[in-house]
Every structure is written in structure tokens, then in C-alpha cells.
Structure 1
């Protein structure tokens, strides 16, 4: 039996090392295995069943964090609400720090030419920045200290408080220079980075909320021979659900009565809605185009395929790692070393030269080591890349794209909406004993009032050819077969080959041969007949996007393996693959199968990018090393991806991967510089060769290097 699973929402985490500490705390409990996501603020816990949820909460709180048990699927609303509050508060703190602090810091670096007491006014203005604006760092540092731990927040807090305290001491005793600029710059830079992080975190739950929106809220059931409207959560297995045109299907089940058309694109990715009749399956999250249908509920609630889809996305999202985790791991060692080095510097200097040089050298060590550049390394590069990407029609959503883009060697391409337009059009036609214009005009007239999805392309062709269509007399629809009507005195039948066989229509060898070739290529067919004989047929298909073949060729020239993955039939998939130059094809693959393919490729050592646009692509997008969503796709796909191609042009995909690679390289250079700078500068500061003012300037210059290096991304693609 699988271990029971529950989720905790975790509060108070400020970096990836916090998530690691929560996970280690939970894993130390008997029979517990936990996965803690800093991105979502959620801990997924598997237990042996013998441990009460309250014990899990108590363990997390004992480590210095807040925790609450949540119902499955509700975590993301809780996290979104808390992140909204965090973003608002960080924004207010940052605005105050910029508006009040920066002008004051600039004045504090100039000789005091103002009236007596002017410096005290400056200090009074800096104090709100050092105490209130920097409060998140102070609180995190204090919480860590209570549990014998340190983080980047510890060093930030010490640098801000020490420089502010020393400035106040120097003003009281005239002991030396003021460093009021240091707490301001440190606070502004780090609050900006923290705000960017909070904004990205707030977006994390969007995919799961979008999937939840596909759940039907109410459902019509047959009880005691009468239709009743009930909440979907009250639906029971075995009950009969009535699904009318436009309704979301609320369960997985089998049609027991009725004929209709169902849009299954959310679950299968097929561009063409499918006709269903008694004995055929339908799934939760799909939409009835026509009906009504009576459906026996075989899967409800958490037992539906849609619920499984939500769990797949949730699992894949929680497994993603961020590049900033590297900086946090280093800081776990770096911060205690810096604090110890500062204390050792103070003790060494006070034994040799007295209090003032000791404080100066120790403060220089703290200030020059303050990891401003570390905090800026990732968000600054992301910010510049986001701006350049917007100009190129590419949006990088977060650090996951940077983490894996450099290593991507396999690109899995969805078919419908990615390589193709996603819209059915008339791809070809054949006539027998009539003119093409007559065939188009009469077929379009009969289908003009039809709601069948295959009717629209024929009607559109008729309108473009004729302008105004003739009116069909006594038009009637035949569910699952087609439509009929009288046009120009002829009884015209338009529909499937089965419709023709049912009405004893004489076939045409030329038409039959062409229809066979169309169906082998994956096209849908519409046959037309009048006066008792077939007079022609249409091939309907999804057109390949302009530039798709060139984009695939570009990916190959980048050394990337390409695979076409679709829920559509084999013939349609092979036809599109041949048109764009993809040699590997996986057809008729459901959402669970798509992520299974991604995981299989990853198990082979491949680093996989998935390009898609539909709800059914969301698990694969979330589980891939790199998810790329086309901007014309569904909200679910856009939320699940790491990269969004804003313009509906596949040529932007290799451009997006290239931009992600360049941004990742820039971020690594930023981090390497930040660490190297600290390693080189710390001994110089400890030996007394740097005053706190010079140390503060060096710290700012280090951050300036990071920003300048990131700005180089603005030239990408030129």
C-alpha cells in the first residue's frame, strides 16, 4: 500500500536553504519522506500513517517556520494569498527605501556643509530604512540565530545594523567617518531582488489554478427519473449525468444514450472534436459541442483523468530546482566564515591598535563581504533577459529556464497549435460529374446552419468563393452522420461515407480513391452527393505553420534532436512530421503518456525541452527540463512553461533557447564574480588596507559589475 500523502503550507522561508532545512527536519521523523518546494511554499509529505499531522506541524514550527495542513488542491490558493501580501509589503518597503534612503545616502557621502545637527537629521532619515525597510532580513536572521543557523539574511542584517550603529557611534564621539550610504544601498538592492523573487513565486500556482478552472462546478444528474442540478462534488459513481451542448463534462464515463460531438483537445490534443455515441468514453474537463448525452459516471472527483493531470503538474512543478539554490548553498558556509573572520579581525586589531581601528577593520570585513552581488546575480540577469526577450517575442519566466537550457539536447514538439495552426481548413477537394464551384456552393449552403466542427471550413470556403450562399430548403442535421437539404432543386447530402451508405448513394471510384489517400494521411473527409450519386468530397486538415520547417532545421543545426509528440492519429502526425522535417514521431499519446515519454528520455540521460500550447501538454511542459509554450496556447500551458514564445511563430523557439542559454551563462559569470570578489577582498579588508568607505564603494562596484554584465544581454539577437 502507498504511504499516505498530505501537504503542508510553509511560511517564513526566505531562500532555498530554508526549504532544505524544513525538508531535513521532516525527514528526521520516523516513517516520513518529504519534498519541500521553496517555489510553491508547499511541503509534500509521505508518512507511514502512524504519525499525526499535528506532529509534522510541530516539527516545522520547532525549526522556526510556520506550517499548516491543507487539503489537496487548496495549497495554491493559500500560497497565492500569502504571496500577494508579501509582494505588497516588499513593494512598500522598497519604495520607502528608494524615496527616503537614496537621497540621504548621497548627501551623507559629501562633506557636511549644512547647519549644526544636519548629520543627525540624515541619521534620523536613514533609521527607517535600516530598521523598517530591512526588517525582513532582520527577522529572518533572528529566527536563524534562535535555531543555530545562518543564511544570507544574517550577513545582510549584520551589515545594515553594524554600519548604522557605527555611524551613530561616530557622530556621538567624533570617532571617524560615517557609513550611512551602506545600509541604504544594501537594503535597496536586496529588497529589489527579493521583490522579483516574490513576483515569480506568486506565478507558480497559476497552472494549477487554471487546471482547477476546468472542473465543472455543477452537474445535471438523473435521480428517481428526474433531472436534478447538484454540485459536482456530490456526484456519485454509477449515476447518470446529462451533458448538453456547451457543458463541461464533470466525470469520466461512458455514453449510455444520445449522440453528440465533444471537444477533447484538453485531454488528447486532437484538433478535431470527436463524435461520440452510446458505448464510447468521455472524460472530465472536455466540452460538449453538441448533445445531449447521457453519461454513466465511472470516475468522479479525485478519480478523474483531469484530477490525475493536476497531480502530474503539481508533482513536476515541485521537482524543479532554481539556480539561486547554488548561491544559498555557498552562503550556508560563506556567512559563518565571514562572521568569524570579522570577529577575529576585531579581536586582533583591538589587541594591537585599540577600539577605533578594530571597529573600522571589522566593519570593512562585514561590509565588503555583504552579498549584494550574490543577491543581484540571478534577478538582474533575469530582468534584462525579460526585457530583451519581450522585444524578440520571448518571455523567460524564471530561473528554471536558466538551469537547464545550456544542457538541452532533445526538443519534443507538440503538433496541434505548435507545428500547425490548430484550425481546420479545406486542404483539398475532388469532384465527380460537377464543377468545383457548384460542389462548394451546394455543400456550404447545406452546412450553413450546422454546429458540427467540420462544417465551418466548408462554409468558410463557400463564403470566400460565392460571397452570399444560397439558402437550403428544409435543411436537417443527422447526428453522427452529417446534414441534408434541398439546393437548386436537388436533395444534397453532406457528411461521412456512412451517411452515403445509409442512403444507398452510388459511389465514385475516383472519389473513393482520393478519400482513401486523404484518410491515410490523417485528414478528415466530408463527402457530398445529390441525385443519388456522390459528386465530390473535401479533405479537411490542420495546416502547417509558415516557417515551422525552417525552425525545425534551425533546431537541428543547434545540435538538438527533435521528436513530434501528439494525441492525434498516426497518419496526421506522419504527414506533419514529413512536412517540417521531423523524423521521430509519437502519435495517439495521452497527457500521462506525454510526461512518461519525457521521463523516459530523461532516464536515458537526455535533457529535454518540450514545446506545446494545450492543456494536455501541461504535465509534459512542467516535467520537462525546459518547458516552452506558444503564446497562442491555453492559460494552463502558459503557466506550466519556463519560456513563453509570445508571438505565434515557431522560429522564436530556437531564439528562446539561445536567449535562455546566454542568460544562464551571464548568471554564472555574475555568481563567479561575486564569490571571487569576496574571496579576494576579505583578506585585504581584514589587514586594515580598506576603510569601511572604500569597502562600501567596492561592494557597490561589485554590484555594478553584475548589473553591467547583465545589461550585455540587451544586444542578444542583433
Structure 2
């Protein structure tokens, strides 16, 4: 369960970090998100924590930090008075609203901070990226950069030609005018490049130094800035420079071409990055395109076209052949086939009939049907998928923390290396010593730009999350990707996870009394329960046309069954534990028959009326066809698969044997599952838990990775880090394969970035010159730097084509 609180007193990132850390130490709190800008804390709990406990954790009532309930409750906020009284569907949907017009820094300089307007990151200066990317936004960004690129090319190419012409014998340009005048031409042509098209790089460099968040723009700004200032100074005051810096004509060697061309190549890298970045966010854009814009509502027998934003719960909607389902709901009339591939990843259309659920964004086949709207707006599955993919795409993997630590020291080290390079060439290099020293020092600064290092993790995460969404695997954050790759134990529930979750009554056996009368009583009792077994009994009773009665004092006994009174007579329906709890001992006469049924993998519930067992009811729930193959594949990958079920020992053993599970444990209450996972974690195991019911929520929250079946309850989904839209165990195999591919891709990117800098910096410093006479000019260094960033992005994009 997740609640939103208001927090006063946070004034800086340090405050934000302290509040988050203190709240995270509170028992039963599994995740904390804190924002000093919004003055909010979103807290995920396995069990409700009182407000005064939260206040104590951050310093008590006299602390500068004060936590309180939200003043007003919008769709984004749920009052956490009681986790039991809060509507669970509302509790889930409030976190999955769209956030139009929100932008974030791809380098995650300030964690999950978002901005309301496009622009540059206040810390590192990178272009902010839209959380909900649209073609128009990304086209606008690309067009803006392309416009600047055209300006840059227009002025940089002549500068480059003028500079390179000096290598021609009897340079023909000098027949037009002198070198001194051509230097002035280069200066004039470089001004638009520096002060218009690429001025943003210098602004970012300045911000990075002021905030001491040194990055690629620090190195770009210092390198090209020094080259430009040096050239201007050398052009205006050549007499102050030593002879080593001067040509035969008495002019100083200038580097306007290095400044212009390097900035051009950096801008080219940004342009290519913008293009590539739009491809990485393609999954979100494709999901957004799935949503139809209007729907046909039936009012008093008449059909009317309205916007999907005007649809209300309870509206009757007609979905015509070929149309997209506008919202989530249930078919009330008609039947058809629905293409659900866009949210499940399965290409085969699914047959749908009356009382079957349909999801927004899926495509109707060749028949028309009526449906009732049950989830609209941000509550629809499609909206939740889009929000989850968006949030996960900009989340940080734990491995990124290592990268951040390295990057923190990387830029200062590069600057030091650049200074050392200058000194060594100045003292020991060939003539002109100062010229060599200056050029090589700048080359070191430019080639070492850590852009590739910064992009290595977030690009792979973004593409991987999008790939998962297309395959029906919804990943809540990047941490889940990293941990999923490391799991060595999978804990799974039985009903709805290994089995279809659609139980049906096979038979009812009554030893004492009339069968229909007994069936009517237990069906009446189960009308108040939402458990799948209860639904099966009620459906079976209705088919037998039995009489239902009024139930009083209904009680659902977790993990055991249900009880209640009809005409002052106590009715029990449940397992052996329920009978023992109610001190009913005389059931040995039918126990042997019950055990025989259980050994065949069936679920059997005892029926007791007035403290006497009168019979039992047998319920079957078919094992999913894909469960066996999925379990074998996971075991092949070294993952132990253990079933924890509330069902009895005999039924559990039969299912475990059929599926060749590693181990199983029967008669588990919710707290038993929780404790079992804790014990495994104490042994050093990385545990994933797959479940679909409310009783699975605590275990899902405790596990290192909670995996919810999309066919299950909202509470289970909210407690999990990964949701399988189709509710199929094969989805776990997909999630495992995807996480492995993403982590492998990240490591490839990091390896490439580190190796590139490890090789590039020494070459730029001139280590090859003594042996091979090779030097790396600043222009070639800039080209190599741009290529490294684009290579990282291209490698991340490969994830779009992998098979999981």
C-alpha cells in the first residue's frame, strides 16, 4: 500500500536525503520517495504505520521536519487513515496519473526531480527530456538543434578550409590577402558558432563549475574556451607571445578552426543523440497512440459519439468492428475476438463473450458488442502501463551509483592530466614546445568528455523497460531490472499463479441433510466473499437454481475459510484448520474421502452446520499449460522454484509433483509466506515472489522482487515491482531474460566508455609521439568523443530487437 504525506521543513537536497533515510528505517516501510520541491513523501508500507510513528522517525514533534496528512485529496493523494478502510482501487490508481508537460534530466543529476518546462538541467545543463514524449516535442527539439547545425556548418566549413589551406604549398589564399587578414576572417566566422549556435555549451560548463557538478560540458567549455580566448588574444596582441607561438610571418598560431570544428562535432553528437533518444522512448509513444480519442456511448437506446475523457463509470459503450476499446470494462451484450497483443505481447486474438473483461487500447475484431465502463481515465490498464513505463524509464539502477562516484572524480582527474600534459610537453617536447603543450592539453580535455559514461545506464534502462512493456512485462523501476537478474529463488503462490485462477465446483458430497439445501446455505455464505473459490461455489449454486438465504455475522477467516449464521444456525466452510479452530472434531468419517480428492490436486472444503460436519465440496482449478515449461526454464537458469500455498498438504504435493517444483510448503497463512521469505533472505538468497491475491501483498512487499499477476488484485499489483499483464508464469521467464539482457547491455556500455577513455586520454596526451610520431588533434578528439556517445546509444537500441 502506498500513501502520500505532506512534509514541511526541507530546504535542500541534504534535508531530502535525511528525511528519506529516517523514514526508510521505520518497520513495515518498504519504499520511500521524497521531494523537497513538492513537499511530499510517497511511502510504501507492508502494514499501516501511524502518523505519530512517522513523525518520531524524523526527529519528533520538535523537529524542523513536520509530516502531516495532505490538506486536500486529489486523484494523486489518498488519505492514509486506515489501510483497511481505504478503497484499494483508488489507492492504486492515484499513482498512475499522466503528468503532461513534465521534463527530467537524462543524467538524473537531482534524482527523480522533474521540471514543468523544457530547457536545460539546472545542475549539469543537459537538455531536459519529456516524461511523456510526443512527436511534436521531440521534433521541436531535433529541429532546434538541426537549425543550429546548419548555422554552424555554414560558418565552420570556411574556417576549416582557411586553416587547412596553410598545408598547401604556395597557398593560393595568400594571393588574395595576407595571413593576418585571413585570421580576422576566421575570427568573424567563428563568432556565430561560439556566441549563437554553441553558446549553450559554455552556459552548461559554467553551471557545472558553479554547482561543482563537473561533466562533459566542463571539459568542452574549458577546452574550446581556452582555444578561442588564446586565439583572440594572439590575434590582437601577437607581440606578447614568445617566438615559439609565431609563424614565419610573425603572426601567432591561432586555433579558431579547432574551436569551431570541435564545437560543430559536439553539436553533431547532440543532434544524433536527440534523434536516438526519440527512438529509445518509442515504446511510450506507441503506448500513447493505442488510446482512442472517442467512443460511442449508448444513451436511452441512442448512440452518441463522445470524447473518451467524458466517459463515466457505468456508461454503456458500443465497440464496433475494428475499433479500439476505449476504457476498461465488461461485455454486457454480444461477443467478438480481441487483439490484445499491444499489452500482453501475445499475437493470437482472444475470444470474448458476455461477462468477460476487455481492456482499453485493445482492438476489436469483426463483431460489434456492448460493454459497461468500469475503469476510466488514469484507472485503465493502458494508463497504468504508460505511467509505469514512464516512471521506470527515468529511474536509476543501483549500478548507476558506482558510475556517479567515478564521474565525480573523473573530471578533476582529467583536468589534472591535461595540466600535466601541458607541463611535460612544455619542458621536454620538441619545438615549438608551448604550441605542442597547448594543443595536446586541449585534446586531452576534449576526448575525455564523460558523456558516454553518463548515458551508459539510463539509455539501456529506458530501452529495456519499453521492450518489457511491449512484451507484457511491466517494470516499476530500474532497481527491479538489476535485482531480477540476480534472483536465485522464486516463491510462487498456487491459485491464479500456477493455476488458471478460474476454479469450478466439481461436486458436492452431503452425508447429512438435503444436498440442495446445504448448497444453498454455503452459497449464501460465500456471496459475501471475493475469493475465487467463493465465486465458483456461488456460480455453481446458481446453475442448480437453489434458494439463497440471508447471512448474519459473516466472517472471513484468513487462510482457513468463512463462517456465518443463517436462521441462528452457524455455518462453516473451510479447511481442517477452521474446524480445529471452532473445536469441531468429528469429521473422521469423511476425512479419507477428502484426502483421496486432495491427492489428485483438487481443493476440498469441509461443510459444517451447527458444530457438525455434514459433507464437503470439491473444487478444481486447472494448472496453466505454460506453467511447467516456465518452471523448467527457470530451474535451468539456476533459479529454485518453491510453491507456498494456503491449500492443504495433499493438494499442494500433487501440484508440486506434476510441475516438478524444487520444493513446496502447504497450509501457509500470509504471515507464514512472509517469514519463509525472510528466512531465505537471511541465508543470503535473492528472492522473487509471484502472487496475485490480497493475502500475497505482504510477501510481495518483503521479497527482493515482487512479481504480480496482472489478472490479480490491485493490492497485489501495487505491492510488486514487476507486473505481468497476462498473468502467465512465462512472463517471469521473459522478465528474467530481459533483466539479464539489460544488465549485460549496461556492462557493455560501461566497458566501452571506460576502455575508450583509458585508451583515448593517453593517446591525446601524446604517448604515441616518441615511437610513432602520432598526435591527436583536438578536432579528431572531438569526433572520437561524439562517436563514443552515439555508439553507447546504438548499443542500447539493440535491446529493442532481442528475443525474450
Q: TM-score range by the shorter chain?
A: 0.5 to 0.7
Question: Helix, strand or coil for the counterpart of 1:418?
Answer: coil
Check whether the contact 2:464–2:799 (CA below 8 A) recurs between aligned residues: yes
1:108 is aligned to 2:152: yes
Question: Alignment RMSD, CA only?
Answer: 5.6
Check whether the contact 2:521–2:571 (CA below 8 A) recurs between aligned residues: no
Give the C-alpha shift of residue 553 in structure 1: 2.0
1:331 matched to which residue of 2?
407
Question: Helix, strand or coil for the counterpart of 1:342?
Answer: helix
Check whether the contact 1:156–1:186 (CA below 8 A) recurs between aligned residues: no
Normalised TM-score (structure 2): 0.53
Cα separation, partners in 2 of 1:497 and 1:83, compared to 1, 3 Å: closer
Q: For 1:190-223, what per-residue CA distance to the aligned partner results, in whole angstroms no more than 9, with x for missing partners?
A: 999999999xxxxxxxxxxxxxxxxxxxxxxxxx
Question: Helix, strand or coil for the counterpart of 1:695?
Answer: helix
1:539 is aligned to 2:618: yes
1:142 matched to which residue of 2?
210
Q: In 1, Cα distance between the equivalents of 2:679 and 2:521?
A: 50
1:165 is aligned to 2:241: no
1:471-550 residue pairs with structure 2 within 5 A? 472=547, 475-477=549-551, 479=553, 496=573, 514-515=593-594, 517=596, 523-525=603-605, 538-540=617-619, 543-550=622-629
Cα separation, partners in 2 of 1:619 and 1:461, compared to 1, 3 Å: closer
Structure 1: runs of 5 or more not aligned = 1-5, 27-34, 45-49, 58-67, 145-152, 199-319, 486-491, 501-506
Q: In 2, Cα distance between the equivalents of 1:715 and 1:639?
A: 29
Match of 1:611 among 670, 681, 690: 690
Match of 1:342 among 418, 425, 430: 418
Match of 1:702 among 785, 788, 803: 788
Q: In 2, Cα distance between the equivalents of 1:448 and 1:341?
A: 81
Question: Helix, strand or coil for the counterpart of 2:661?
Answer: coil
Q: In 2, Cα distance between the equivalents of 1:592 and 1:483?
A: 28
Aligned residues between the structures: 527
Q: For 1:221-279, what per-residue CA distance to the aligned partner results, in whole angstroms no more than 9, with x for missing partners?
A: xxxxxxxxxxxxxxxxxxxxxxxxxxxxxxxxxxxxxxxxxxxxxxxxxxxxxxxxxxx
1:532-681 residue pairs with structure 2 within 5 A? 538-540=617-619, 543-566=622-645, 570=649, 573-587=652-666, 589=668, 594-614=673-693, 617-618=696-697, 620-635=699-714, 637-681=716-760
Cα separation, partners in 2 of 1:475 and 1:97, compared to 1, 3 Å: closer
1:180 matched to which residue of 2?
263
Give the C-alpha shift of residue 544 in structure 1: 3.5
Give the C-alpha shift of residue 686 in structure 1: 1.4
1:313 matched to which residue of 2?
none
Q: In 2, Cα distance between the equivalents of 1:615 and 1:455?
A: 15
Question: Helix, strand or coil for the counterpart of 1:647?
Answer: coil
1:381 is aligned to 2:377: no
Q: In 1, Cα distance between the equivalents of 2:678 and 2:613?
A: 49
Check whether the contact 2:273–2:790 (CA below 8 A) recurs between aligned residues: no
Deviates most, 384-393 or 86-95: 86-95
Q: In 1, Cα distance between the equivalents of 2:111 and 2:450?
A: 24
1:69 is aligned to 2:35: no
Match of 2:216 among 148, 153, 156: 156
Question: Helix, strand or coil for the counterpart of 1:563?
Answer: strand
2:114 matched to which residue of 1?
86
Check whether the contact 1:408–1:606 (CA below 8 A) recurs between aligned residues: yes
Q: In 2, Cα distance between the equivalents of 1:19 and 1:192?
A: 35
Check whether the contact 2:155–2:192 (CA below 8 A) recurs between aligned residues: no
Q: For 1:479-536, what per-residue CA distance to the aligned partner results, in whole angstroms no more than 9, with x for missing partners?
A: 5567879xxxxxx9997599x9xxxxxx99997754565578783537599xxx9997
Question: Helix, strand or coil for the counterpart of 2:497?
Answer: helix
Q: In 2, Cα distance between the equivalents of 1:542 and 1:512?
A: 21
1:87-486 residue pairs with structure 2 within 5 A? 87-89=115-117, 93-94=127-128, 98-105=142-149, 107-109=151-153, 112=156, 120-127=191-198, 129-130=200-201, 134=204, 139=207, 141-144=209-212, 153-163=213-223, 165-166=225-226, 169=229, 172=232, 175-177=255-257, 178=260, 179-181=262-264, 184=267, 322-349=398-425, 353=432, 357-430=436-509, 443=519, 447=523, 451-453=527-529, 456-461=535-540, 469=545, 472=547, 475-477=549-551, 479=553
Give the C-alpha shift of residue 649 in structure 1: 0.8
Question: Helix, strand or coil for the counterpart of 1:609?
Answer: strand
Q: In 2, Cα distance between the equivalents of 1:381 and 1:107?
A: 32
Cα separation, partners in 2 of 1:582 and 1:70, compared to 1, 3 Å: farther
Give the C-alpha shift of residue 662 in structure 1: 1.9
Q: In 2, Cα distance between the equivalents of 1:605 and 1:40?
A: 29
Check whether the contact 2:419–2:441 (CA below 8 A) recurs between aligned residues: yes
Q: For 1:272-305, what per-residue CA distance to the aligned partner results, in whole angstroms no more than 9, with x for missing partners?
A: xxxxxxxxxxxxxxxxxxxxxxxxxxxxxxxxxx
Structure 2: runs of 5 or more not aligned = 1-6, 23-28, 44-55, 71-75, 79-94, 103-109, 121-126, 130-139, 160-184, 236-253, 282-395, 555-562, 580-585, 767-773
1:212 matched to which residue of 2?
none
1:712 is aligned to 2:798: yes
Q: Which has the higher contact order (CA 8 A, sep 6+)?
A: 1
Check whether the contact 2:508–2:616 (CA below 8 A) recurs between aligned residues: yes
Normalised TM-score (structure 1): 0.58
Give the C-alpha shift of residue 650 in structure 1: 0.6
